[in-house]
A and B are shown apart, each in its own frame.
Chain A
């Protein structure tokens, strides 16, 4: 039996009738969150705790000749000071993470952590930082991706370029990847028109409102406890254990409520440092980041430079497509250029396609994942060219996409053949929607774009336990960033046939379960949901066995219907059904407490497609862009809690709006970040936006019992392109650089 046989139970072609799944109950953590009771990363304290703060490099690139911490250590109230010397070598696979958390030989970006102190108050800690003397040898720096690739660029690391990198480029180019099939040159030769364009996007930040925060307690014996806001407390445990050289089981990590992550909290920054300080001071240490630290020194996205070339015939058929994607991932290897290369042309059925991705290092903070890492920028570039070609032939942009749309059986641009997918459904829904036909006013333009993301599964554990009074506790290991506790309770209630409010889902600390993959990859409703359903089915088996015992019949002759065990087959009707509560009440008499659990490396997640449609209005005198109307069309497979699915669509779209119109990392000539605050790093506010309309399509994922697909990430992939297409229409000039802030739009209008 294949490991991933989680095929849906319904007969093909017959939709299952759900009782709880698909409704909109209130979330279990709701009252805590609207009353201020919920405890986030910075809301915890411990007796005797110290406050930790980090000293950060003011230079974009510098050799650290020496660090003198003696004056800081002597300051009254300071209980510990750490530098890289306080950390061992750590495991190889966390070497970059360790270096990012605490610089070794070099400071590699403005804000890079150099040292840290723990003191009895924040004021003393800040004073102590000023007493640390660092002798820097300032080196030339580079922050632009194309500049960093040039052979004469300042080099960050010697010898990191791997076997894929060709001759003639800087050592800052660490990896090259290529995908595709067919013969693009032959394809271009056949086209009625070939269009080539270059696009640039600035780096952006996930922008979660909650800065990183943790509270660490570690003893000399290596036993430690950590409270932290994170997307994955098991990842924190394993990474910190590897960095500090302790057994994973010795470190117990508790995930607080998390105030946003979007990928930026899928790694560690403060946590190993807080643990090291705590061990040295032998007291709990609380560390939080300021907003400036978050922007300077956590994990923004890549800035990119992308060339796209597409050949199209006048009937709208694409004959060939290629892209060269250059992504800088900050000071260490690992930009998502490969993801960009794989997703760029995914919505298209192409005979000839080629994408090349370049991973480049620069003197910027180490990039972390941001919601569909690598995909939004690639979609921006590709969808802009498709749009321009379509309009050049006087064709409807949605029709062109439908004509070339990937469908079941299409060989994707990154290799695999697609199973059943929802792209055409989203395009057709977009075409049929009133938004598509609505009239536009002066200086207004409409844009559409498609987007794609993979989704994945990963390690998941769920333990479902039944209390003596017949209520259910569901223990899982994935921090809830979007309402997933409600969805798990719903799926458990659906399986057990009991009311939603009889199930309480809790996210347990790392001591309670073995291992759980991070809350990312749009995986939780898919993987944790699947494990929940299986755990519930295992519990039902036990419940039926207990009823069988009481009735004196074979357990195979008992079925579970509407929340009760009842005799089936020849024994049908012989005994009244036993409810879950009734069986729970006699659990001790029939063998012991009743539970079901399920551990799995969930595979078989389905891919997710979306089409976005947006109207914008451009002020020709100022270049300011107003978003007038926005509609999201996305395939969710099965919407367990429709309000939370809508929330993901809307949130992703708005992050995309910010990325397209305002957000950018601005580095000065000196390599320092010029706008590390929410005033000048401008994310969308309520007055910038209209309502975000949503249309949920449901093309079931064959790999999940209820057909669930991940939705969290795909919604950020189309907006950059849709808005660029819309603004280009409204302004009368093709925009090729993000963000499309007022000065840039105005300059483009005046030049064009």
Chain B
């Protein structure tokens, strides 16, 4: 089980919780798990998110491993210029 931090305005999709628990060992399992447990979060996931795992930002790497004690933070999709 992994703890995931949800940003302020997105907590409306997770019953007001800023931190939720998801069964996952990889990034894909995490996103699939969130989608399944909190259907209201799906529009945002579809729009795109970045995920910070232990301080590093990941965009699309499905099989990026996540440890049980990893710090996982959902972020807006990061774009550059």
CA distance A416 to B63 in the complex (A): 20
What would be 5 A-B contacts, judged by CB atoms less than 8 Å apart? Answer: A164-B9, A177-B76, A416-B73, A601-B61, A605-B57
Is A601 a contact of B59 with CB atoms below 8 Å? yes
B7, B57, B63, B74: the one within 8 Å of A456 (CB): B57
Closest to A603 in B: B58
Interface centre among A180, A419, A601 (most CB of B within 10 A): A601
A266, A339, A601, A703: the one within 8 Å of B78 (CB): A339
Which chain B positions have C-beta within 8 A of A667?
none
User: Is A41 an interface residue, CB under 8 A from the partner?
Assistant: no
Which chain B positions have C-beta within 8 A of A336?
79
A181, A206, A373, A417: the one within 8 Å of B55 (CB): A417
Is A369 a contact of B43 with CB atoms below 8 Å? no
Is B81 a contact of A262 with CB atoms below 8 Å? yes
Q: Which of B36-78 contact A (CB under 8 A)?
A: 40, 43, 50, 52, 54-61, 63-65, 71, 73-76, 78
Binary contact track A380-410/B, C-beta < 8 Å → 1, others 0: 0000000000000000000000000000000
Is A603 a contact of B56 with CB atoms below 8 Å? yes
Which chain A positions have C-beta within 8 A of B12?
163-164
Is A417 a contact of B76 with CB atoms below 8 Å? no
Quote the shortest CB–CB distance from A420 to chain B (angstroms). 9
B5, B43, B63, B79: the one within 8 Å of A339 (CB): B79
Is A521 a contact of B75 with CB atoms below 8 Å? no
Is A456 a contact of B81 with CB atoms below 8 Å? no
Which chain A positions have C-beta within 8 A of B58?
4, 603-604
Q: Which residues does B use to contact A, with CB under 8 Å?
A: 5, 7-9, 12, 18, 40, 43, 50, 52, 54-61, 63-65, 71, 73-76, 78-81
Is A354 a contact of B80 with CB atoms below 8 Å? no
Is A416 a contact of B52 with CB atoms below 8 Å? yes
Is A179 a contact of B7 with CB atoms below 8 Å? yes
Q: Can you name 18 extra interface pairs (CB under 8 A) apart from A4-B58, A338-B76, A603-B59? A: A3-B63, A4-B64, A164-B12, A177-B9, A181-B18, A354-B8, A356-B8, A356-B9, A369-B80, A369-B81, A415-B73, A416-B71, A454-B78, A521-B81, A601-B60, A604-B58, A703-B56, A713-B81
A interface, over-half SS: loop
A177, A419, A520: the one within 8 Å of B80 (CB): A520
B40, B55, B61, B81: the one within 8 Å of A416 (CB): B55
Is B9 a contact of A520 with CB atoms below 8 Å? no
Is B59 a contact of A522 with CB atoms below 8 Å? no
B9, B56, B65, B73: the one within 8 Å of A604 (CB): B56
User: Is A13 an interface residue, CB under 8 A from the partner?
Assistant: no
Closest to A421 in B: B55
Q: Which residues does A use to contact B, with CB under 8 Å?
A: 2-4, 162-164, 176-181, 206, 262-264, 266, 336, 338-339, 342, 354, 356, 368-373, 414-419, 453-458, 520-523, 601, 603-605, 703, 713
Which chain B positions have C-beta within 8 A of A264?
81
Closest to B48 in A: A93
Which chain A positions have C-beta within 8 A of B57?
416, 454, 456, 603-605
CA distance A33 to B79 in the complex (A): 30
Number of A-B contacts (CB under 8 A): 114
Is A263 a contact of B56 with CB atoms below 8 Å? no
Known: A456-B57, A603-B56, A603-B57. A415 touches B79 (CB 8 A): no
B7, B9, B65, B80: the one within 8 Å of A415 (CB): B7
Is A458 a contact of B59 with CB atoms below 8 Å? yes
CA distance A458 to B57 in the complex (A): 11
Interface centre among B7, B56, B81 (most CB of A within 10 A): B81
CA distance A3 to B79 in the complex (A): 21
Closest to A162 in B: B43
Is A263 a contact of B81 with CB atoms below 8 Å? yes
Which chain A positions have C-beta within 8 A of B9?
164, 176-178, 356
Which chain A positions have C-beta within 8 A of B5?
415
Known: A178-B7, A415-B5, A416-B52. A713 touches B80 (CB 8 A): yes
Which chain A positions have C-beta within 8 A of B55?
416-419
Which chain A positions have C-beta within 8 A of B59?
456-458, 601, 603
CA distance A418 to B57 in the complex (A): 11
Interface centre among B43, B57, B73 (most CB of A within 10 A): B57
Closest to B76 in A: A338
Is B52 a contact of A415 with CB atoms below 8 Å? yes
CA distance A50 to B9 in the complex (A): 51
Is B81 a contact of A266 with CB atoms below 8 Å? yes
CA distance A4 to B57 in the complex (A): 11
Known: A163-B43, A179-B8. A369 touches B61 (CB 8 A): no
Which chain A positions have C-beta within 8 A of B81?
206, 262-264, 266, 368-373, 520-521, 713
Is B61 a contact of A3 with CB atoms below 8 Å? yes
CA distance A266 to B81 in the complex (A): 7
Is B80 a contact of A3 with CB atoms below 8 Å? no
Which chain A positions have C-beta within 8 A of B40?
163
Is A339 a contact of B76 with CB atoms below 8 Å? yes
Is B65 a contact of A456 with CB atoms below 8 Å? no
Interface centre among A177, A264, A603 (most CB of B within 10 A): A603
Closest to B56 in A: A604
CA distance A370 to B63 in the complex (A): 31
Quote the shortest CB–CB distance from B81 to chain A (angstroms). 2
CA distance A601 to B58 in the complex (A): 9
Which chain A positions have C-beta within 8 A of B56?
4, 419, 603-605, 703
Q: Which 9 residue pairs of A and B lie closest in terms of their CB atoms, listed nearest first? A: A263-B81, A521-B80, A369-B81, A178-B8, A178-B9, A416-B52, A415-B73, A520-B80, A338-B76
Closest to A458 in B: B59
Closest to A604 in B: B56
Quote the shortest CB–CB distance from B31 to chain A (angstroms). 15
Which chain B positions have C-beta within 8 A of A2?
64-65
CA distance A453 to B79 in the complex (A): 11
CA distance A72 to B77 in the complex (A): 44
Which chain B positions have C-beta within 8 A of A458?
59
Which chain A positions have C-beta within 8 A of B60?
601
Quote the shortest CB–CB distance from A204 to chain B (angstroms). 12
Which chain A positions have C-beta within 8 A of B73?
414-416
Is B64 a contact of A3 with CB atoms below 8 Å? yes
CA distance A299 to B69 in the complex (A): 42
